[in-house]
Amino acid sequence: MNKLKLILPIVLFSLTISAQNQPKDIADTFFNDYKEKGADVALDNLYKTNNWISRNGDAVTQLKSQMMGLSKDFIGEYYGKELILEKRLSDSYILLSYLVKYDRQPLRFTFQFYKPNGEWRIQSFSYDGDIDDEIVESAKLYHFRLN
């Protein structure tokens, strides 16, 4: 019985650690940080999952600067996010695309995650406001099979 008391916490702890390293969990942490602490902290914590990104510091600094421009005065209140799309290239590469709701207009945040050796990390992050153009384009007849 004593061995069970020792093994059970270890198993539960290891399950908790692996559950926290899933792409959706990493994205959720990003959005929580984004809402509570701002874009700067959210991006820093997101990019901590990939040591290689720190080598491209100028691009990260530029992205932070652009995202800091998403202020209440410019785009309005932040109301949350909704998952638009999840695409798996393989068991080791996944794309998550979110509709991010602001008062003025929606934006799309796109995360690409890569798992080279058992642990997920961010491979790429971007955001854009082209959702309205894409939905109009997708409604065009040449996207549909006509009889």
* Range of the structural domain that residue 59 is part of: 23-143
User: Distance between CA 29 and CA 22 in Å, rounded?
Assistant: 11
Backbone φ and ψ for 92, nearest 5 degrees, come out as -115, 5
Domain count, the chain: 1
Q: Which residue has the higher pLDDT, 49 or 108?
A: 108
Mean pLDDT, all residues of the chain = 83
User: Distance between CA 110 and CA 83 in Å, rounded?
Assistant: 10
Q: Please indicate, yes or no, if residue 14 is contained in any of the structural domains.
A: no
Provide, rounded to the nearest whole percent, the portion of the chain with pLDDT above 70.
Answer: 83
Q: Please indicate, yes or no, if residue 27 is contained in any of the structural domains.
A: yes
Q: Please indicate, yes or no, if residue 2 is contained in any of the structural domains.
A: no
Q: What is the pTM of this model?
A: 0.78
Q: Please indicate, yes or no, if residue 1 is contained in any of the structural domains.
A: no
Is the confidence at residue 12, as pLDDT, over 50? no
Q: Please indicate, yes or no, if residue 83 is contained in any of the structural domains.
A: yes
CATH number of residue 138's parent domain? 3.10.450.630
Q: Please indicate, yes or no, if residue 64 is contained in any of the structural domains.
A: yes
- Closest by CA to 84, choosing from 27, 140, 22, 21, is 27
User: Distance between CA 116 and CA 12 in Å, rounded?
Assistant: 24
Is the confidence at residue 64, as pLDDT, over 70? yes
Q: Using pLDDT thresholds of 50, 70 and 90, give the confidence band for residue 54.
A: low
Please say whether the beta carbons of 110 and 131 come within 8 A. no
Is the confidence at residue 70, as pLDDT, over 90? no
Residues 17, 23, 113, 37: is their CA dihedral positive or negative?
negative
| Helical spans, DSSP H, in 21-99 | 23-37, 39-47, 57-68, 72-75
Q: Please indicate, yes or no, if residue 11 is contained in any of the structural domains.
A: no
Residues 27, 31, 34, 36: is their CA dihedral positive or negative?
negative
